[in-house]
A and B are shown apart, each in its own frame.
Chain A
Amino acid sequence: MALRLLSSRRRLGSIVLSYRSPLASLHSHATSFGFQQVKEEEKSKLVSNVFTNVASSYDIMNDVMSAGLHRLWKERLVGKLSPFAGMKHLDVAGGTGDVAFRIFDAVNSVKRRALRKVDEASIEETQIYVCDINPNMLNVGKQRAAERGLSDNRSLVWVEGDAEALSFDDDSMDGYTIAFGIRNVTHIEKALAEAYRVLKRGGRFLCLELSHVDIPVFKELYDLYSFQVIPNLGELIAGDRDSYQYLVESVRRFPPQERFAKMIGDAGFEKVEYENLVGGVVAIHSAIKL
């Protein structure tokens, strides 16, 4: 299977691998773009291209690829976060707003307000920032907000920004979530360090990401599904096979659960835990800043 993929990669040949000159190897570090090695400066541009291409069909493809399960995973993520009225929350790489809308609903739901003694003032104070590096994704998100009648709502704020260099103040956020975004970041440690920086003391970091499966037979089935079915679905529905090939490969390149958890701990977080969903296809890592 590796050889077949190698040959298919060569045919595309659009990515430059310039390791011939030793000078280039001294100055430019390499990182992974799917199974390719590319220069760092290029990765963010390549990722941006991928998401520009997929933005319009992102939500549909999510539903098709995960058979609708991604909704449950996001519900679980928001449940773990346990949002409260008056919280300042940052959702990074949350372009189309899935997680942000769920948090908004959780805080503002009528049932919640009826059951608990919440004063209106703190609901007003709730701020949910949605940050994404790609303006196209943010536009899709803003459109969805408009469809729900929330375009004028002051609680949802759409910000364009880079996970590795956030424009928010230190100690300003109660919660930080990143759903299916951190594997696209060039330097994961930087993103984690930024997360640590913007969170208040006691703030929570939650990361929902596709992860590694270890269960014997299931692993093979999952690999088969990923490499055979998904790029074809991408071609069929979104008209873009390469982007989905990249997506599937980037999942394999991402560190496994334990190692990622260690990276989170190294960034300074406490109580680092992770929960596997669907046998490890998806993992939710959570941590607290103290």
Chain B
Amino acid sequence: MYRTAARRLLGAGFTTSRLLRLPKPRPTTTIIPYSYCTSSMESPIGNQSVNPNQSDPTAAREEGHRRDESRKPRAEFQEEQARVLAASLRHVPRLGWTEEAMIAGSREVGVSPSIVGSFSRKEAALVEYFMDECLQLLIDRVDSGLDLQNLIPSERVSKLVRIRLEMQIPYMSKWPQALSIQAHPVNVPTSFKQRAMLVDEIWHTVGDGASDLDWYVKRTVLGGVYSATEIYMLTDDSPEYRDTWAFLDDRVKDAFDLKKSIQEAKYFAQDIGAGVGKSFQGLMNGVMQTMSTRGGRSSAF
């Protein structure tokens, strides 16, 4: 489900203007809107201005090819773009999340760097691709048997966030740039969606059974924890990022404590509400009785 969602997300960025889906073959009809022509002008002559026979045999062959596999060309170019982005990632530590990295990546794949111009929001496309890839890697890690059984929920969350953040270590020198790209107003919708998907995936793996308001609260809190840790990591110099993981553990514990405190606050509110409600009800009953004895009329309540 997440794989298709990720693909859809990546695809959504590329279809800002109208994308042509090659349709079923239509008969080429001729329209001569203004009949200036003398009466001897027959329609075959007008036809030839649209006749594909005039084009090269190669074009005709490709046209036939297109009709048979109208879906295939579109899939190919998306694969090609994915390949270029994957190759570009190798140049990011050196060149940053920039067009230069993408140009270098496209050269590696053997494609003209002009293709970079066709990515909408170029650098953002690279960052978003990376985020999707990381999410995919995380899902794969989890599916291929990550041992979470012996851990309590807070430790599970810690472990998953740690795995995800470790994927960013090779790019750590340029990660602030990626964050600033993600924060551009144009890019915020997509980056927000990607983080939401990530957080959702983590909670799902941990074994979340929440519903209603709790679902949103959990995702929001974890989103906050994740972002805080991510930013802390940017300035962490400790060997193997030990300080970051300690920070992460503390924050997750706080979050779970917060959850407990929210729960406690809820119960407290309910109790008070019940108490007040009872006394309010008692009050209303008293009032009703008084009114009925006084007025001798039936109560509208």
Contacts and interface: CB of A to CB of B under 8 A. Distances in A.
A287 to B, nearest CB: 9
Q: DSSP majority for the B interface?
A: helix
Interface stretch (B13-21, B185-193, B229-237): B13-21
B73 interface: yes
A9 B113 CA distance: 49
Interface bin, chain A: 35 or more
B77 interface: yes
Interface in A246-290: 258, 261-262, 265-268, 270-275, 286, 288, 290
A29 B42 CA distance: 12
Nearest to B40: A19
Contact of A265 (B56, B66, B122): B66
A25 B112 CA distance: 45
Interface string B62-75: 11001000000110
B9 to A, nearest CB: 18
B58 interface: yes
A224 interface: no
B113 A84 contact: yes
Interface string B90-124: 00000100111001001000111111111000100
Contacts of B55: 187, 189-190, 193
A266 B74 contact: no
Interface bin, chain B: 35 or more
Contact of A36 (B36, B46, B115): B36
Contacts of A76: none
Contacts of A2: 34
Give the one of A29, A268, A271, A288 with max B CB within 10 A. A271
A171 to B, nearest CB: 9
Interface string A16-46: 0101100001000111100111000000000
A190 B53 CA distance: 11
B91 to A, nearest CB: 12
Contacts of A266: 52, 59, 62-63, 66
B17 A273 contact: yes
Interface string B39-55: 01110011011001011
B22 A265 contact: yes
Contact of A202 (B22, B73, B115, B122): B115
Contacts of B54: 29, 187, 189-190
Contacts, number: 144
A70 interface: no
A204 interface: yes
A286 B114 contact: no
Give the one of A25, A202, A273 with max B CB within 10 A. A202
A83 B178 CA distance: 23
Contacts of B59: 189, 192-193, 266-268
Given A2-B34, A187-B55, A201-B110, A84 B103 contact: yes
A82 interface: yes
A117 B100 contact: yes
9 contacts: A29-B45, A35-B34, A83-B117, A84-B113, A190-B54, A262-B20, A267-B62, A272-B19, A274-B17
Interface of A: 2, 5-6, 9, 17, 19-20, 25, 29-32, 35-37, 80-84, 87, 116-118, 174-175, 187, 189-190, 192-193, 199-204, 258, 261-262, 265-268, 270-275, 286, 288, 290
Interface of B: 14, 17-20, 22-23, 34, 36-38, 40-42, 45-46, 48-49, 52, 54-56, 58-59, 62-63, 66, 73-74, 76-77, 80, 95, 98-100, 103, 106, 110-118, 122
Closest 8 CB pairs of A and B: A202-B111, A82-B117, A202-B112, A189-B55, A202-B115, A200-B112, A270-B77, A174-B114
